[in-house]
Structures are given as structure tokens and as C-alpha cells.
Amino acid sequence: MPVSLSRLFVEASEVSKDADAVLNALESLLKILVQDLKSRNSRPYVIIDPKKCKELVVFGDIHGDLQTFIRLSNASNLDEVLSKGGYVIFLGDYVDRGPYQIETLVLLSMIKKYYGEKVILLRGNHEPPEWLPPYPHDFPYRLAERFGTNKAKEIYGVSQAIFEQLPLMTLLEGQALFVHGGPPITRSAYAKTPEELLSIDGDRVSIEEILWSDPDEIESEWKPSPRGAGKLFGKKVTERVLGILNIRMIVRAHEPCNYGFKFNHDGKVLTLFSLRGYPYFNVDAAILKIRPSEDPEWCIFPKVINYIITASGQKPSYNTLRF
Ligand SMILES: [Mn+2]
């Protein structure tokens, strides 16, 4: 049954005031995610058949910026997209930094509850494995401020279990790969099939590359990242990954962009950044809304620019591009 997102926004902010209500919401998200993982045979990635995907909205980093999230949901008619059976992919980084981290996680759990497999929550580096902590990671402190140490510990424990269940990648067959940071770089050097590239199991090198990497205009395949985790990957890696997967574009988040989006590698990598304000103060935030079944060529640059939606309502154009 369709549910109005604006009602969920109100509900989520109510729920977020009460520790037990938050626990409830997150525990039911955990159950759904466990079920999801089972139903895709424990694969760390989701596959979407574009023929069965009329509409798809994609969000980059949110980091607790609920106001921009609401604005972008309205601008993309997310409500209508979901109630008509369309998909939404969130590219990760829901918590840390922003003012409404708890509300964001609760809201996403509600949206997931209503729309099930059509809502894909990817893992970002701020939904970290214990062995790869990001900085800042203030989410546990925000929980403690609001709910006290004991409840905060309990809620954070469930959150960590949630993070472990989140898929790392989504493949929109024949069109695009969606990840938080980058593709599995090391594996792309020897993987021959999509299955070999994406079935990373518990491979920590791949997980780190997916969560932390950034594209860079370098000649070499890759170089170490100044972030201290992940890699900077060059166009050679991008082209190899596109070849193995038989797709046209990598869509990722992770990097602040002044206008909410940018392109690398001759338009073959699109970055989306969907929050505004502290600590980046970027001019604009952006998302993507495409029609994979109707227009499978959306991912051929520069056509994709027409499908970018900004928080300001400003139409994206060539002069906001950064190569
Ligand atoms: Mn990130």
C-alpha cells in the first residue's frame, strides 16, 4: 500500500525522540536486511534488470542532512516513483557529521519497510566494518547525547549489525554499477566475468576499495589515496570494469562536490553528493533520476546530465562540470 513520504518524515522525527522506538525501528530494519541477504544467496551485491525498472532515483551521501533529503525527495517525486513500483538506491553515508543522523537512519528504515526490495541501501564508509573506522564517526556520541550511554550502546550495536548486512554494490545490467566509493580495483585486474568481479565475499581489500576509493585523472592504474584508506583509481581501471561488466558508467558518491555532482574519466564516472551545509558548504546537492527501461542510453555521456536533479532547482549544465 502506498504511503506518503511526508507522513514518514513526521513519524521518523517522532520515533527518533525515544530510545525504545528507535531500537524497534532499527531491529525491524535488521530483520528485513537479513531476509534480503538470504533471498540473494548472501551475494554482497544487488542486480537490477533494467527491463523491470521503469524509474530509478539515486542519492549520494546524506550524512544526517534531512532537510536537503526532503527537498530532493520532493524534487524527484520520490513518493510517486516508489508508489508506482520504481526503485531508489542510496549510495551510503547516512550518519556522522550532520544534525539529523538518527532521524535519517530511522526514516530510511521506514522507507525500506514500506517498499522492500525496491529500496536499496548500500554501505558507505561511515557504515563501517569494525576493522575500518572512519573519521569523524560521531554517530555513537549523538546517540549517547540523546539517549544516555546504555541505550546508546544498545542502539549502536543494532546499527553495526545493520551495517554488516548492507549490500556493497548494485549492478543495473547493461547500464551502470552503483557503489559508495569505487569498484573492486585489485580484482578487476584478473576477474573475467561480472560474477568474478562482484563476488568479493569477505575480501577486505575489495571492501576497502569499494567504500573508500575516489576516481582521479591519473595515467597509472591507481595510486594510494591521501584519505589513508582505499585508492585513487585511473581511467584504465574504470574502462576495464565497464568492459568486464558490459556497462557504460560507474555512479558513486563519497566526495564532496561544489554543485552536488561531477564527472571523471571522460564522463564514465559520475559522483553524486546529496547534502549541503556543514562541513562542506557546497553550493548545491544533487541526485539522479533515470528511466532504465525506456531510455537505456541515459548512461552515455553527456546525456546523463539531463537526468541530474539539484536541491536548488538549478538545471545542471556543462559549465558546472569538473573533469
Ligand atoms: Mn564516504
Q: What is each CA distance from 234 to 204, 243, 271, 291, in whole angstroms? A: 21, 15, 15, 29
- The string of pLDDT tens digits covering residues 123-171 is 999 999 999 999 999 999 999 999 999 999 999 999 999 999 999 999 9
- If pLDDT is split at 50, 70 and 90, which confidence band does 320 have? low
- If pLDDT is split at 50, 70 and 90, which confidence band does 1 have? low
pLDDT for position 299 = 98
Looking up cell 565475499, which residue turns up? 201
- The answer to whether residue 69 scores a pLDDT higher than 50 is yes
pLDDT for position 321 = 60
Looking up cell 538545471, which residue turns up? 315
Lowest mean pLDDT among 31-40, 58-67, 277-286: 277-286
Burial profile 63-81: b = 16 or more Cβ within 10 angstroms, e = fewer:
bbbbebbbbbbebbbbbeb
- If pLDDT is split at 50, 70 and 90, which confidence band does 194 have? very high
Lowest mean pLDDT among 113-122, 146-155, 211-220, 271-280: 271-280
Cα of 42 from ligand 1 centre, angstroms: 24
| Phi and psi torsions of 265, nearest 5° | 50, 55
DSSP 8-state assignment for residue 134: -
Cα of 125 from ligand 1 centre, angstroms: 5
In angstroms, the CA 59 to CA 75 distance is: 12
DSSP 8-state assignment for residue 288: E
pLDDT for position 48 = 98
pLDDT for position 319 = 66
- The string of pLDDT tens digits covering residues 12-35 is 999 999 999 999 999 999 999 999
126 is catalytic: yes
In angstroms, the CA 98 to CA 95 distance is: 7
- The answer to whether residue 218 scores a pLDDT higher than 60 is yes
Per cent of the chain over pLDDT 90 is: 94
Cα of 198 from ligand 1 centre, angstroms: 20
- The answer to whether residue 253 scores a pLDDT higher than 70 is yes
Nearest to 77 by CA among 312, 309, 316, 302: 309
33: region left, alpha or beta (phi > 0 left; psi from -120 to 50 alpha): alpha
Nearest to 77 by CA among 262, 282, 291: 291
| AA identity, residue 239 | E
CATH 1.10.3720.10 describes domain 5-318? no
Cα of 1 from ligand 1 centre, angstroms: 33
* Angle between helix 101-115 and 66-75 (nearest 10): 40
Cα of 16 from ligand 1 centre, angstroms: 24
Cα of 168 from ligand 1 centre, angstroms: 13
- The answer to whether residue 77 scores a pLDDT higher than 80 is yes
- If pLDDT is split at 50, 70 and 90, which confidence band does 114 have? very high
Mean pLDDT of the region 278-300? 95
Kind of pairing between the strands at 308-310 and 286-290: antiparallel
- If pLDDT is split at 50, 70 and 90, which confidence band does 323 have? very low
pLDDT for position 317 = 81
Extract the C-alpha cell encoding 170: 548494485
pLDDT for position 278 = 83
Cα of 61 from ligand 1 centre, angstroms: 7
- If pLDDT is split at 50, 70 and 90, which confidence band does 3 have? confident
Lowest mean pLDDT among 26-35, 49-58, 218-227, 311-320: 311-320
Per cent of the chain over pLDDT 70 is: 98
Question: Looking at 126, 180, 254, 265, which residue is catalytic?
Answer: 126
Cα of 252 from ligand 1 centre, angstroms: 10
